[in-house]
Amino acid sequence: MSEPLLQAVNLQCERDDRMLFRDLSFSILPGTLTRVEGPNGSGKTTLLRILAGLNDAWSGQLLWLGKPRARRREEFLHNMLYLGHRPGIKPLLTPVENLRALMAGRKAMSDGVLLKALAGTGLAGFEDVPCRRLSAGQQRRVALARLLIADEPLWILDEVFTAIDIDGVTALEHLLVQRARDGGAVVVTTHHDLQLPSMQRICLGGADGL
């Protein structure tokens, strides 16, 4: 059995005097898809941000390759890709400029590779258009192009299906399945009716919907 990439042991998080989750333990193995589920307000985004190292308001243990993540933080960050529910792109930059910025400090990529990735998400012909002039779906596709050139072993994706059309949804589903088949691990939240093979589920309990 493969060693877990990321392991959570008795995670607990409280927000605004309300317990979001406690005693939450699970392992993220190479070659797996994991969906975090729960009603609005149950802490799905909070959990993903904790896993990605973007939220420190929690207790418990997080292990990266069997060691406390805090001791291997730089290694973890270099091997993890996080996409939030907002596209995270700069409206004054073009898609290719945004993609170049997203790759900064990760891996040197030629413009040809960046343009191919943008074309792969349906943005051929829009590469040099300022993102403020693109639709919400097109702006989301700029961020998703990052996945086509990503080689990090762990992807943490929050509501990445938002604002994309049915063809984009199908293409993204296939991409996530292929990523797992290639040995990567994907953790995702989505309101989309995601039905992928061998998908692990982490179910968070119920705050009232927002």
- For residue 29, tell me if it sits in a domain: yes
SS3 content of the chain, % helix, strand, coil (to 5): 35, 25, 40
d(CA 47, CA 63): 15
Query: What H or E segment, with its residue span, contains residue 139?
Result: helix 136-148
- For residue 209, tell me if it sits in a domain: no
Burial category of 84 from C-beta neighbours within 10 Å (exposed 0-12, middle 13-18, buried 19 and up): middle
List the structure tokens of 106.
């990760």
Q: For 125-165, what is each residue's pLDDT tens digit?
A: 999 999 999 999 999 999 999 999 999 999 999 998 888 88
List the structure tokens of 75.
């290694």
Q: For 83-120, what is each residue's pLDDT tens digit?
A: 988 888 999 999 999 999 988 877 788 999 999 999 99
d(CA 111, CA 198): 36
State the CATH number of the domain containing residue 3: 3.40.50.300
Q: How far is CA 120 from CA 50, 70, 147, in A?
A: 30, 36, 10
Which of these three, 132, 150, 168, is where a domain ends? 150
Amino acid found at 189: T
d(CA 185, CA 115): 26
Residues 138 and 183 in one domain: no
Residues 56 and 160 in one domain: yes
Residues 157 and 133 in one domain: no
List the structure tokens of 199.
């998908």
Number of structural domains in the chain:
2
Which of these three, 150, 169, 191, is where a domain ends? 150
pLDDT band at 167 (very low <50, low <70, confident <90, very high): confident
Residues 143 and 198 in one domain: no
Residues 198 and 143 in one domain: no
